[in-house]
Amino acid sequence: MYCFGCKKRHYPGMEEVKKMIDRKKVIEEMSKIAASPNEDGIIDGFNVLVNQLPSDFWNEFNERISTKVKPDLRKQAEYLLYNCARECGYNTGYGIITSKEWKAIVGPMVGNTEDVLYGAFAVFTAWGWAKSEIVHLEPGKKMIVKAYDYYESDVVKHGISPKLSAYMIAGVCAAFMDLAYGGDYPKGFNKFKCEQVRGIECGDEYGEFVVTPI
């Protein structure tokens, strides 16, 4: 990923990175950005067309599809759901980190590649995808993300689900690592994979996502 601050790639320690991004400020500012469609009902922003649907729609579709398929095909169906988010996260993520809003709000805090990654998860949180943050990062090798509140866990109203359901978060985590360490956009896609290992929907306190190279 291109570093806007120093105009090159480099990998400082995590502690240094954490001090650079004011996560609270990014969430506060980016959550105020209102996505308004033009008169044709189209939002053309961040290099993509954007829609703004109730999260129930995405949850209902994902849950019906992943539950309705025969058990021996469930993993395949879940991979497709994860892959939808991975491509979305890669393309929209790139649009976000090259947008004027990013440059205005997050840009001044960015000094290196890891700052961009930490900043991206602050935006991810601000836009309501998941209240999430990076808790461990080995640049180019491994990232662990925790999500403390996310809409994909709403599929459970009582008890605990037998399956982890945060396909969107998992896909976006892999995509953000692709953007950071996969190589220049758009050739850096599909270099990392993500596995969800904990989920609120399964009774855990938080969702946990582990990203490693493919």
**Residue 57 CB, nearest distance to another protein (Å)?**
4
Which residues are within 8 A (CB) of 133 and not within 5 positions of it... i.e. 6 or more apart? 23, 118, 121, 122, 125, 145, 146
Residue type at position 159: G
**Segment near another protein (CB under 8 A), from 10-18, 58-66, 155-163, 199-207?**
58-66
Which stretch in 11-19, 57-65, 101-109, 203-211 sits in contact with another protein by CB under 8 A?
57-65
Residue closer to another protein, measured from CB, 6 or 35? 35
Is residue 190 a contact residue for another protein (CB under 8 A)? no
Angle between helices 55-68 and 167-181 (to 10 degrees): 100
Backbone φ and ψ of 107, nearest 5°: -45, -45
Tell me: does residue 49 bind another protein (CB under 8 A). Answer: yes
If the CB atoms of residues 131 and 191 are measured against another protein, the closer one turns out to be 131
Residue whose CB is less far from another protein, 11 or 151: 151
Q: Is residue 53 a contact point for another protein (CB under 8 A)? A: yes
Question: For residue 164, which amino acid is it?
Answer: L
Exactly one of 11, 31, 144, 163 binds another protein (CB under 8 A); that residue is 31
112 or 179, CB closer to another protein?
A: 179
User: SS3 for 104-159, per residue?
Assistant: HHCHHHCCCHHHHHHHHHHHHHHCCCEEEEEEEEECCCEEEEEEEEEHHHHHCCCC
CA of 114: how far to CAs of 12, 13, 17, 80, 120, in Å?
Answer: 8, 9, 6, 28, 10
Handedness of CA 140, 143, 149, 154 (dihedral sign): positive
Q: Identify the residue among 9, 18, 131, 142 touching another protein (CB under 8 A).
A: 131
Closest distance of CB 176 from another protein, Å: 14
- Binding-site ranges for another protein (CB under 8 A): 27, 31-32, 34-35, 37, 39-43, 46, 48-58, 60-61, 64-65, 68-70, 73, 77, 80-81, 83-85, 87-88, 91-92, 95, 125-131, 149, 151, 154
